[in-house]
């Protein structure tokens, strides 16, 4: 695990580069477009700092590349060669994950008939209530983490750990840049 300052430096460098490429392509963006571009380049920079080692980073870049508008931005930010590597991994991962999701859905549908009675927790057992609660929370967590629906529990927790650390670094850098820019503008 790299020290956080190195992580922040790398993130900042990639982010600024991405922003400059964004601004070179489009002039006169309104505030919402700007905000989207800033957020997108920040997220992609954060994800690319992981170099495809974590699942959430690959999923994030995949989601960003799916949207046609942002795809070329993502490509520019990542750089040509690394983008190919990540996209390859992402496409393979996406294929596998889609298959997994489809098979899971089929399973759920087939078992759904049996399960409809049990979806409400029975009051009798405290342990079953606890399990149901944990299941609900896990589903929410899966929806939060990019690419979380494809992971089993073990991977999910590991990815959450990494994601929280990256998000914290991202927030720190963005906050300091924002306050510094505001200082410059108000002084």
Partner 1 sequence: MEPNAGTTEARSNRTPSEGDEVAALESLQFTDEIHRLISAPPTDNASSFTALLELRAPQAIQLLHSPESAKLIAAPAPNVEDFKGSFHFPSNNGLIERAARFSVVSAEGNNNNNKSNSPETTSNNSSANLLKAVKSEPAETESSQPLVSVPTVEKRSIKRKDREKKVKGSTKKRKTAAYESSEDAEKLPYVHVRARRGQATDSHSLAERARREKINARMKLLQELVPGCNKISGTALVLDEIINHVQSLQRQVEFLSMRLAAVNPRIDFNLDSIFTAESGSLMESNFPSMVMPLMWPEVQVNGSRQQYQQQWHFDALQQPARGREEVCNNYITPENSLLSYDSSANSATLHSNQLKMEL
Binding residues vs partner 1 (CB under 8 A) = 1-5, 8-9, 12-13, 16-17, 19-20, 22-24, 29, 31-32, 34-35, 37-39, 42-43, 130, 133-134, 137-138, 140-141, 144-145, 153-154, 157-158, 160-165, 167-171, 173-185, 187
Least CB distance to partner 1 at residue 156 (A): 9
Residue placing its CB nearer to partner 1 in the complex, 95 or 178: 178
Residue placing its CB nearer to partner 1 in the complex, 103 or 176: 176
Least CB distance to partner 1 at residue 35 (A): 4
Contact yes or no for 44/61 (Cβ under 8 A): yes
Least CB distance to partner 1 at residue 82 (A): 16
Residue placing its CB nearer to partner 1 in the complex, 106 or 130: 130
Least CB distance to partner 1 at residue 67 (A): 17
* Sole residue written with tokens 């399990």: 131
Q: How far apart are CA 46 and CA 15, in angstroms?
A: 8
Residue placing its CB nearer to partner 1 in the complex, 91 or 179: 179
Phi, psi of 62 (to 5 degrees): -65, -45
Give just the sign of the alpha carbon dihedral 56, 62, 68, 72: positive
Least CB distance to partner 1 at residue 12 (A): 6
Which residue, among 184, 100, 185, has the nearest Cα to 149 in the 3D structure? 100
DSSP secondary structure code for residue 67 in this structure: S
Residue placing its CB nearer to partner 1 in the complex, 113 or 154: 154
């Amino acid at each position: 695990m790299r020290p956080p300052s190195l992580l922040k430096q790398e993130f900042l460098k990639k982010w600024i580069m991405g922003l400059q490429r964004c601004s070179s392509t489009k002039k006169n963006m309104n505030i919402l477009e700007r905000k989207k571009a800033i957020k997108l380049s920040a997220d992609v920079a954060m994800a690319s700092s992981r170099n495809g080692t974590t699942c959430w980073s690959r999923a994030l870049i995949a989601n960003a590349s799916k949207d046609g508008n942002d795809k070329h931005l993502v490509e520019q930010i990542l750089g040509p060669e690394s983008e190919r590597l990540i996209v390859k991994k992402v496409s393979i991962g996406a294929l596998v994950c889609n298959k997994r999701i489809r098979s899971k859905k089929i399973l759920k549908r087939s078992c759904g008939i049996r399960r409809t009675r049990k979806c409400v927790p029975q009051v009798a057992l405290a342990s079953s209530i606890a399990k149901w609660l944990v299941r609900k929370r896990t589903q929410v967590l899966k929806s939060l983490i990019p690419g979380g629906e494809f992971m089993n529990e073990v991977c999910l927790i590991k990815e959450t750990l990494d994601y929280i650390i990256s998000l914290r670094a991202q927030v720190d850098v963005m906050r300091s840049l924002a306050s510094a820019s505001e200082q410059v503008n108000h002084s």
